[in-house]
Amino acid sequence: MPITLATSTPQVQENLHITAASSSTKKNIKLPDYQERRLNDVGITVKYNAELSSQKVESSLKAVSIHRVVNNEVAVTTNALHSIIPPESDVVINRSAPYITPAPPSQTVEGTHQNISVTNTSLSSLPESAFSVIEGTWQDANTVNIAAPGNVFGASGCLSCADVLLEIPMVTELSPAFEDVTQAFGVKIFDEGETVPVKFDKCDLNVVEYKITPANHQYSLEEANGFFVERHEFPHIFIASSDQDEIIITVGKQVEDDKFALVNIKVPEGKAIMLPGGTIHTDSLSRGNIVIMLTECVGADTVLMHDKDSQPITLRVDSSERIGLAEWHL
């Protein structure tokens, strides 16, 4: 079904209005203007920050815009291009558009995104109920090439798992071990106004807003050949565009050659999560209008999670805090 403004209207202008009206301390802040660009090859209309270079807007929208449909329902689509982060820059987190912006020299901090992953908190120090450990063999796309229409980076490999059913615990800000879990898995939560060390040196990073609907679960199984995880050289930052949207990031860590620890991290409202380059992850369980910092200038090591019979494994989110995700594969 071709997308129309009636089926998926980018949330940029509405959210800008709400944010500006709800905070008297921000009344004097100039909010950016947004224009629209029709992407005929994708079949959607995307908003973009009018302050950005038109040349960079063109190349960025072409690189990062997606539109996925399953059974006439939109699963994932592109709402807006908010910002472009130059190489070697840090970024500042905002709760209003453009959400993630280059840090001025006065706000630059020490370190890079890779410093986030350095931790003294070990997985063994966490409660056993905080994460799952699975047995599996990670084979990249150069070793095992599997069809994966949902992979924007091209070919996918396979994480061949011993289990046919996988339950991944979820931690929230209310979980006693929340901070320890984020530290042990090498990721970090940032609040509004904070500077995030990035300094990715390969190319620009794009700050893009996607709309992820409940139909994405069905798309993953019926069109994309299953649930995937990936790792890549560039860092991610995720932030929801409003309090009605929800970010749940599945984060992994290789603990032995054929063993991986996995946890679902629910990002607190109004905050952002930084995933340094090299972090095993997926955002498949997020819902709503999600702002993501990413690029396609470097590839990703993406693998589909299949059982030993090459079938997509059945997934459950092990959490009493999140009713509705426990049987998402249905």
How does pLDDT run along the chain (330 residues), one tens digit per residue?
333 333 333 444 444 433 433 344 444 556 789 999 999 999 999 999 999 999 999 999 999 999 999 999 999 999 999 999 999 999 999 999 999 999 999 999 999 999 999 999 999 999 988 999 999 999 999 999 888 877 776 679 999 998 888 889 999 999 999 999 999 999 999 999 999 999 999 999 999 999 999 999 889 888 888 889 999 999 999 999 999 999 999 999 999 999 999 999 999 999 999 999 999 999 988 999 999 999 999 999 999 999 988 888 876 776 544 433 333 333
| C-alpha span between 113 and 133 (Å, rounded) | 26
Report the mean per-residue pLDDT for the chain.
87
- How is the beta sheet containing 100-102 ordered, strand by strand? 100-102, 91-93, 195-196
Q: What proportion of the chain, given as a percentage, has pLDDT over 90? A: 73
179, exposed or middle or buried, with CB in 10 Å at 0-12, 13-18, 19+? middle
What is the value of pTM for the model shown? 0.88
Residue 6 domain-assigned?
no
Residue 328 domain-assigned?
no
Residue 226 has phi, psi (to 5 degrees) of 115, 180
The structural domain count of the chain equals 1
Residues near 162 by Cβ (< 8 Å), separated by ≥ 6? 134, 135, 136, 307, 308
Q: Which of 289, 263, 256 is nearest to 82 (CA)?
A: 289
Domain that holds residue 62: 12-92+103-318
Question: Tell me, what amino acid is at 162?
Answer: A
CA distances from 141 to 95, 149, 191, 277, 294 (A): 37, 14, 36, 19, 21
Q: Using one digit for the tens of pLDDT, what is the confidence trace for 170-212?
A: 999 999 999 999 999 999 999 999 999 999 999 999 999 999 9
What integer pLDDT is reported at residue 6 of this predicted model? 31
Tokens at residue 182, please?
């984020």
Residue 112 domain-assigned?
yes
Residue 1 domain-assigned?
no
Helices (H) and strands (E) in the chain, counts: 5, 21
Residue 4 domain-assigned?
no
Residue 246 domain-assigned?
yes
Residue 145 domain-assigned?
yes
What integer pLDDT is reported at residue 30 of this predicted model? 64
Q: Using one digit for the tens of pLDDT, what is the confidence trace for 109-145?
A: 999 999 999 999 999 999 988 999 999 999 999 999 8
What integer pLDDT is reported at residue 145 of this predicted model? 87
